[in-house]
Amino acid sequence: MESCPVCNLAVSPEQIQSPEAVDESTRRLLSVNARGWDPEKGICDRCLTYFKQASDVLASRFPQFATQKLKILPTPFRLDAPDEFRARGVTIAFLDSGFYAHPDLTQPRNRILSYVNIVGEGPTDLSKPDVSSWHGMMTSVVGAGNGFLSGGLYRGIASEADLVLIKVGSASRVRHEDIARGLNWVIKNREAFNIRIVNISMGGDYEGSYLDDPLSIAAEDAAREGIVVIAAAGNAGERESHPVLPPASAPSVIAVGGLDDRNTLDHSDDVMYHSSYGPTIDGLQKPEVIAPGIWLAAPILPGTVTAEQAALLSELDGAADGELARIIRSHPGVDAELEHAADLEPYLLRHLIWIKERDNNVISGNYKHVDGTSFAAPIVSSIAAQMIEACPALRPHQVKRALIRTAARLPGVDVDKQGWGMVSPRGAVKAAVAMRQEQPDQDRERPRYSER
């Protein structure tokens, strides 16, 4: 056996392809995304197929990617998620501080089945954004957006899932008991909307035992009713105290920590994000798995100052040098710094534009990149939705077991921090397909899983 120079996995000698098998486009992608790769040492069959497909798809289907200054990679590519499963027929409920009916969820088909405001404050109409709409809009789109405003580039893994959106707080406050109320609403209405998964990208106010804490009890009740409960572990990993709070601390909940994959397809240099970790006050080790928690494309809330600035920066990026000053002056009040700098030489203006894009994490006029376990959790929820599409009879404990069994631990990282390791969509879906094949009474009219 030999080791692939790219993925470092053991392979047989006949699985190693010669350097001549790597075309120039794939070679360029490898040079950026596989830092330790020596072109003279070849590459294994699987890595060659993976990187070649990524190169071909990004170049042919998403030409705008080549012109973006911030080349944030789409989540399905970064995790090698099977494309044939997109959570068709699966409903994910999102509990968050607020939401907005973003085009990535509503176009060309409105996939939002219901919106519920548990707390009774803030907008009742999803078409009217406010400051509380940001977080839930981003978590739901990261998990289940179809990339409508990016031509499909920044879609989530569960891009055809249906959604139920449940507002359990505001931008300034999310209360422990209101998250529990939201979970109980999901339990009560699970059959009406076929809710199979609930994503909770927030934590409660305090540590609590699953034996008597109402939020933890609600999470356990949801799992017993057949709902996969997935929650963010939190972002306190660098602090002296880094507890995993309810509901993520409950036994049946899949708690998700964060991974920093450095926005590359090469996982040999992955490191941990600063996630919270256990043990909990009940002695349970959390999180169970980790997923990318940084360098994630998320939508910018329309109608905000941030959206106006991002749109202006995007327009300036595509303009000729002689048009820069005119465009800036045609948008008075949007960006004072650019207005004051409008008479600078074009090369200085472009440098300022780049600095503002970089400092504000702007990818384009519609997206920016974000971080936090709030966004790692919906990635795992989207993978669970793929699994349920592949095998609708899956129970929560089976989903959890398959995610854990197929995860890959990061070398050199404490098990306490990463649990069973980085999720593997392809491995988890393969496990779900295998379970489906063991249940011959189920409807077989589903997309076929393809190995690469």
Q: Please state which of the ranges 123-132, 317-326, 339-348, 430-439 shows the lowest mean pLDDT.
A: 123-132
Q: Which residue has the higher pLDDT, 199 or 441?
A: 199
Top pLDDT among 233 and 130 is at 233
DSSP-assigned beta bridge partners for residue 259: 272, 292
Residues of the chain above pLDDT 90, percent: 72
Residue at which a domain ends, from 365, 387, 413: 365
Query: What pairs with residue 228 in β-bridges?
Result: 197
| pLDDT-based confidence at residue 33 (cuts at 50, 70, 90) | low
Give 411's contacts (C-beta < 8 A, 6+ positions apart): none
Which residue has 């534009």 as its token pair? Answer: 353
CA–CA dist 350, 321 (Å, integer): 9
- And the tokens for 192? 């009406």
Provide CB contacts within 8 A for 355, sequence distance 6+.
none
Average pLDDT over residues 383-403: 98
Report pLDDT for 69. 78
Pair (395, 326) in one structural domain = no
- Residue 331 and residue 268 share a domain: no
- At 140-187, the pLDDT tens digits run 999 999 999 999 999 999 999 999 999 999 988 999 999 999 999 999
Do residues 374 and 139 touch, judged by C-beta distance below 8 A? yes
Same domain, yes or no: 276 and 354: no
Chain segment 70-89, per-residue pLDDT in tens: 889 999 989 989 999 999 99
Q: Residues 6 or more apart from 40 whose CB is under 8 A from it?
A: 19
Question: Residues 316, 292: one domain?
Answer: no
> CA angle, corner 21, sides to 19 and 23, nearest 5?
95
- The per-residue pLDDT for 21 is 86
- Final residue before a domain boundary, out of 323, 345, 365: 365
What does the alpha-carbon distance between residue 64 and residue 59 come to, in Å, rounded to a whole number?
Answer: 9
Q: Does the predicted TM-score (pTM) go above 0.85? A: yes
DSSP assignment of 227-291, as one string? -EEEEE--S-TTSS--PPPTTTTSTTSEEEEEEE-TTSS-GGG-EE--------TTS----SEEE
Residue 21 placed within a domain: no
Compute and round to an integer the Cα radius of gyration of the chain. 22
Q: According to the model, what pLDDT value does residue 63 have?
A: 80
Residue 449, pLDDT score:
42
Res 450: pLDDT: 41
Domain that holds residue 420: 91-298+377-437
State the Cα–Cα distance between residues 397 and 379, nearest whole angstrom: 18
Residue 36: the pLDDT is 63
User: Does 260 share its domain with 326?
Assistant: no
What pLDDT is attached to residue 410? 93
In-domain check, residue 82: no
Q: Which two tokens stand for residue 302?
A: 């329309």
- Distance (Å, whole) CA 306 – CA 210: 40
Going by pLDDT thresholds of 50, 70 and 90, the confidence category of residue 440 is low
Q: What is the pLDDT of residues 235-253, one digit of tens each?
A: 998 888 899 999 999 999 9
At residue 238, the pLDDT reads 87
Check whether residue 160 and residue 292 sit in a common domain. yes
Select from 425, 419, 434, 420 the least CA-distant residue to 381: 425
Residues 287 and 382 in one domain: yes
CATH of the domain at 396: 3.40.50.200
Q: Which of 365, 393, 420 corresponds to the end of one domain?
A: 365
Quick check: is 143 in a domain? yes
Comparing 407 with 269, the larger pLDDT belongs to 407
Same domain, residue pair 312 and 292: no
Check whether residue 96 and residue 208 sit in a common domain.
Answer: yes
The answer on pLDDT for 393 being more than 70 is yes
pLDDT at 398 over 50: yes
Domain count, the chain: 2
Confidence of residue 200 (pLDDT cuts 50, 70, 90): very high
Residue with the bigger pLDDT between 446 and 89: it is: 89
Please report, as a single letter, which amino acid is at residue 226: G
Pick the more confident residue, 402 or 263: 402
Query: pLDDT for 367-391, tens place per residue?
Result: 999 999 999 999 999 999 999 999 9
The reply to whether 417 falls in a domain is: yes
**Angle, CA 139 vertex, CA 78 and CA 295 arms, to 5°:** 35
Pairing of strands 228-232, 2-3: unpaired
Question: How far apart are the C-alpha atoms of 421 and 409, rounded to whole Å?
Answer: 4
Pairing of strands 254-260, 271-272: antiparallel
User: What are the φ and ψ backbone dihedral angles of 243, each rounded to 5 degrees?
Assistant: -70, 150
Beta strands 254-260 and 296-299, pairing class: unpaired
212 with 312, same domain? Answer: no
Residue 34 lies in a domain: no
Same domain, 338 and 243: no
Question: 288-292, 350-354, 400-404: which has the minimum mean pLDDT?
Answer: 350-354
Q: Is residue 397 part of a domain?
A: yes
User: In this model, does residue 91 exceed pLDDT 90?
Assistant: yes
Give the pLDDT confidence score for residue 451 in this predicted structure. Answer: 40
Asked if residue 38 belongs to a domain, the reply is no
Q: What tens digit of pLDDT does each residue of 259-277 get?
A: 999 888 877 778 999 999 9
- Amino acid identity of residue 354, one-letter, is W
Q: Are residues 119 and 251 in the same domain?
A: yes
Is there a domain that residue 35 lies in? no
Q: Does position 442 have pLDDT exceeding 70, yes or no?
A: no
Residue 299 CB neighbours (<10 A): 27
Contact in structure between 396 and 252 (CB atoms under 8 Å): yes
